[in-house]
Amino acid sequence: MTAQAAAGAAAPAAVDVVALGESMVTFLPARPGRLADVPSFGRGIGGAESNVACALAAAGHTARWVSRVGTDGFGDHLVETIGRYGVDTSAVGRDPHRPTGIYFRTADDRDTDAHEVVYYRAGSAASAMSPGSVDADALTSGRILHLSGITPALSADCLQLVRHLCARREDRRPLVSFDVNHRPGLWKGAAAGPDVLLDLARGADLVFVGEDEAAAAWGVTGGPEAIRAALPEPATLVVKQGSSGATVFEHGAEPVFKAALRVDVVAPVGAGDAFAAGFLSATLRGLTAAQRLRHGHLMAAAALTVPGDLATPPARAHADRLAALDDAAWGTLRLGPGWTAHVPEDTEAEEEVRTP
């Protein structure tokens, strides 16, 4: 649906979060090894922004995904699968002239040399998103609008759209959340890519960025404080520090650091999106900075202990009990596959640290 067509339709219902971005059908290997050697693949879905929407919906929030897909079977699969998570997909446009993006990846950690990923997304339906081809009312229907640095790398039109949404103006309604998600390969060697991401992040209200991303994209080293110095504008800046934890900076408050959890990792994909979902969930609930970080770590731990990008989050009461642990008890937690299904009944927090 175009923005013009949407103007004549009823206004979309208000939701907690709107996520804008491309989702693709993902082909996951049946076993570890080079793509050339893997005999078969399972089908899944992947997309940073839709991952966040699905995780938030699974956690009990209302979420809407805004995007475009082809009129092909892969587009049908994406819309149907994301919708089954409880995400509103009514603002997803269908493009009869462009395909839905797909990609293949190996089972190896994406940070190792053995990891391979092959995208077939050039000329995809989502890459043609622009201010005139998406439902403008749907984009402003949430308390939070979640974006990432992947979308502006897809095309000039996508960049124009994200620039418009990140532009600071008095009538901007949703809180704009921006995950930097620096993917050098998507910028096709464009030297301006890092500068574009920095400019977009400066316009957002809430920004997620990893220490490694800041170093790779902007040459900023020296820890979270140095990154905050490079990004003073956002009201909230979350600096992810890998397996050590994360630090949140907020205007008028001291920075807060919370350690990450020890996790028996099944697959490293999807953890960043899950962390953002956990942090946004706690933000919607009005929780403290420390609790927001803890809920981000818990949602990331759920994603790390399953094979794909998306995981069943812990029940809210269970997550709240774990997030309330003191630092010593939090430090003794070790989470493995199946931990989100383990909900202790009538137990004290000291017993919960033995969650498998």
Catalytic positions, written as ranges? 273
Q: Is 95 helix (H, G, I), strand (E, B) or coil?
A: strand
* Cβ within 8 Å of residue 333, ≥6 positions away: 261, 262, 322, 325, 353, 355
**Whether the Cβ atoms of residue 64 and residue 88 lie closer than 8 Å to each other:** yes
Strand 236-240: give its sheet, edge to edge. Answer: 63-66, 15-20, 142-148, 175-179, 206-210, 236-240, 245-250, 256-259
The CA distance from 350 to 331, in Å, is 12
The CA distance from 3 to 131, in Å, is 8
Burial letters for 137-163: b for 16+ Cβ neighbours within 10 Å, e otherwise?
Answer: ebbbbbbbbbbbbbbbbbbebbbebbe
CA torsion, ordered 49, 50, 52, 56, to nearest 10 deg: 140
Nearest to 140 by CA among 167, 162, 165: 165
